Structure 1
Amino acid sequence: MAWYLRRVARQAAAALLTLLAFALIAVAGLPEQRTWQSLPQDGALTLAGRTLDGASFQLSAWRGLPIILNFWASWCAPCREELPALQQLHASGFRVVGVNVGEPSQQALGFAMAHGVTFPNLLDPDYYWLRVFGVRTLPTTFFISADGALREIVQGGMSADELFRKARALDEP
């Protein structure tokens, strides 16, 4: 009888492990998470700091204008993929600001220069702004309307078409 109980226990354990493996595979195959969140209590316009080249920058200088705020890092593959589209948005007249997360200034500046980035990018070497904005994945992009309202937050990379569509929607009421 004891051998029978051990056999049943082994079969149950094997079935449980198989079920767990399928669950992990299913979760890993889910698309990137895209969720609505809220801005920090003081609002996005409190964002201020030093840019990659050492200049002072305050997002509040763009008050009354729609803003695309993007958190990124040079090691992040989706960040690198969407960077040309962010630069195109900037070149088209949209207000784009990046926040480089956790990298030394020379590394971030070298990366931005090598990729022709001309929009302002703030340094966040100690993850302060990352925590303030509740960013959990890179890239994360905040779409903020001219009245300062958060329209959307996208976690994960976007195509150029998606970025432009969401940026143009900021001008709509």
Structure 2
Amino acid sequence: MKVSGLLRRGFGPALYVLVPLTLYLTGWHTEVLGCAQQALLATGLFQPQLAPASTQPQADYSLPLRTLDGRLTTLAELRGQPILLNLWATWCPPCVAEMPGLQRLHDKLRGQKIALVLLSMDENPEKARRFAVRRGFTMPIYTLAGDVPAVFNTESIPTTYIISPTGTIVARHEGMANYNSPEMLQFLQQLAR
């Protein structure tokens, strides 16, 4: 009895330190938090705000991008179609949480003239590539190949911009959201018309 009570009193509180420390040191804390936040997204409470951006600035198509296989490009390659631009990072749990929904949206958009651009803000592009491979993502993931134009500067990630075919930023959403919704699909398809 004494040993059992000692274990509960001594080891129990230690778990509150050991479990988070272990998750952090192994790098799994982002994945675990991301999974917990995915459960929150599944409730439907975190929908992106599709209200028009207040000033509706023009997108800067010179945004320098690098594909995960190293090809340099810019947002200009996608000019003339709606673009959902999502700024994220592998170390950001809310970003990780919304990725499966973005992948499902990407799957629904196949063959349509609507572009998803998932721009990893990781300093090491290899982290984004390994993350995409490990998760089996097929959506277009890019890394930054230069400076972010001022119109896309943000203090938080994830941040998502929706750009019309004419280059107007018609919506902006900071924070995690579930983009795999009928409303988002309809919104993007209406922009494409």
* TM-score normalised by structure 1 residue count: 0.67
Q: Which among 39, 55, 67 is matched to residue 71 of structure 2? A: 55
Deviation at 1:141, TM superposition (A): 0.5
Q: Which runs of 4+ in 1 moved over 3 A?
A: 34-41
* Distance (Å, rounded) in 1 between the aligned partners of 2:117 and 2:180: 19
Q: Percent identity?
A: 33
Q: Which among 56, 66, 71 is matched to residue 82 of structure 2? A: 66
Corresponding residue for residue 101 of structure 2: 85
* Distance (Å, rounded) in 1 between the aligned partners of 2:149 and 2:61: 15
* TM-score normalised by structure 2 residue count: 0.61
Corresponding residue for residue 99 of structure 1: 119
The answer to whether the 8 Å contact 2:66/2:145 transfers is no
Deviation at 1:152, TM superposition (A): 0.5
Structure showing greater radius of gyration is 1
Q: Does 1:146 align with 2:155?
A: no
1:152–1:40 CA distance, 2 compared to 1 (3 A): closer
Q: In structure 2, the residue corresponding to 1:54 is in which secondary structure?
A: coil
Corresponding residue for residue 186 of structure 2: 168
Gaps of 5+ in 2: 1-45
* Distance (Å, rounded) in 2 between the aligned partners of 1:52 and 1:39: 30
Gaps of 5+ in 1: 1-30
Q: In structure 2, the residue corresponding to 1:80 is in which secondary structure?
A: helix
Cα RMSD over matched residues?
3.0
Q: In structure 2, the residue corresponding to 1:75 is in which secondary structure?
A: coil
Deviation at 1:171, TM superposition (A): 3.4
Corresponding residue for residue 154 of structure 2: 135
The alignment of Structure 1 onto Structure 2 pairs a total of residues equal to: 140
